[in-house]
Amino acid sequence: MKILVIGAAGMVGRKLTAALLKAGQVAGQEISALMLADIVAPEAPQAGFPVETHALDLSAPEAAQTLIAARPDLIFHLAAIVSGEAEADFEKGYRINLDGTRHLLEAIRLASQEGHYAPRLVFTSSIAVFGEPLPAEIPDEFPLTPLTSYGTQKAICELLLADYSRRGVVDGIGIRLPTIVVRPGKPNKAASGFFSGIIREPLAGVEAVLPVKTNVRHWFASPRAAVSFLLHAAGLDTAGLGQRRSLTMPGLAATVGDEIDALRRIAGERAVKLIRHEPDPVIARIVAGWPQAFSAKRAESLGFVAESRFDDIIRAHIEDELGGHLG
């Protein structure tokens, strides 16, 4: 099996790559080659099979054609401009998030005309495809009503994925990721970045800024869970999806206050005191329109699993990023 990971230099992309290298197989099929692509060249890992790295901009049509020329059997499409940046830079958001995805689908369609080719395409969507007015718990049948440019771009891509799958161009599955916490490394430009920051920074002994009230409620999963979603989607029998090719992933509904309480239980009051409340009306407005909880029964029935306690999310971060212990 030839595998292509687009967005491989990002946090989830790096963790997915590590999981693929460790397993050496996906869905019972051995990996024969791995292609890693991003706007900057991903690090080339050591592997028992060929690994290629590519630095390219997916919003350029020829970039997708270059990647698809190798005819990968499985494609993970993770590349995107995050929510805050997509809202601030309208043109860049649509160019990367929408045009890049459409160029990828078109490159696959053109390749399929030269002989049978219909790869499995796992696309990372987002719960940002939903927007107010929202019920307290969003069911699987709830309509897409995004209130941000990022959510709109993801919703359009979901429709494209379904249409190209209907036509047999790809065997697509879209997974709507919860907000992934705790993200390691430096903060990105996502409006949701503070959800990780108020855990990650205090655990490292650094002050963190909280721009919203503690009663803000949201839907979370860990980086571990995100990688497990992707790998499970890669081997899933998509016949049961019908025309509804995108799924809301399981997660954990928690408030910012719940996050802070979990941090207190694990790292003590000293860590909690490093959180500084500094209201940001722009971020507060964006977050106010986001979903708070889901009934992800469809994904759960297909075997997708996430954490059920925020303590477990924090412990996963400590184990995976901090060597298993606090400093």
* DSSP symbols for 37-62: EESSPPP----SS-EEEEE--TTSHH
Residue 117 bears catalytic tag = no
Token pair of 189 as six digits: 């430009």
* Size of the chain in residues: 327
Catalytic residue among 94, 117, 150, 164: 150
Distances from the Cα of 97 to the Cα of 37, 123, 136, 265, 287, angstroms: 15, 11, 28, 39, 20
Angle between helices 310-321 and 223-235 (to 10 degrees): 90
- Cβ neighbors of 177 (< 8 A, separation 6 or more) are 124, 125, 126, 127, 221, 226, 229, 249
Alpha helices in the chain (DSSP H): 11-23, 61-68, 83-88, 90-93, 100-112, 149-166, 193-203, 223-235, 256-267, 269-272, 281-288, 297-301, 310-321
Cite the active site residues.
Answer: 150
